[in-house]
Amino acid sequence: MRAPVKKSVPLKSSVSRKAGKWTLSGSCGMSFGDYTSIDVSPQIGYRWNEFFSAGGGVSYNYHHSSNRYDMNYLGINVFGRVNPVRYIALQIQPELKGSWGKSYEKKINFRYVPTMLVGGGGVIPTGTGSISVMFYYDVIQDKYSPYGKNWVCSVGYSFNL
């Protein structure tokens, strides 16, 4: 007599990893004091399958340092994200920003600034989307980039639509 065969039950995928879902995400941040920084960056994307999503967005960044500079950055971006395993994401995000402002009381006329953020981080699924903590580096390193030679940390939330 043969032993009963157990059916394997596939692991249930979280809502945020299902294919065919539109997502609304982004980040915002602020710091005040001797150095003021404001960032608002909404994005919309589409999850093509369990491992890949892509989309685009807009961003506004403001940077101010007393008596030194007062800069504005307004831009557009596209992104591609790969989730090789659950809870891990790798992302590339080319951007084109327009910048203007003043530096040491000298007016800076509008100019285009290309950037390309490359990085990765963790993604924690929730019932309605996911929370992400990502680390990026601007690989273009344009001399007018708002990111400089620094790693950028971004904390955001994605809503499934």
What DSSP character marks residue 124?
Answer: E
Return the percentage of the chain with pLDDT > 90, whole number: 65
Helix (H, G, I), strand (E, B) or coil at 16: helix
**If one looks up domain 19-160 in CATH, what number appears?**
2.40.160.20
CB burial class (10 A; 0-12, 13-18, 19+) of residue 89? buried
- Domain spans, the chain: 19-160
Q: How far apart are CA 148 and CA 137, in angstroms?
A: 9
pLDDT in tens, 59-96: 999 999 987 899 999 999 999 999 999 999 999 999 99
Handedness of CA 64, 152, 133, 21 (dihedral sign): positive
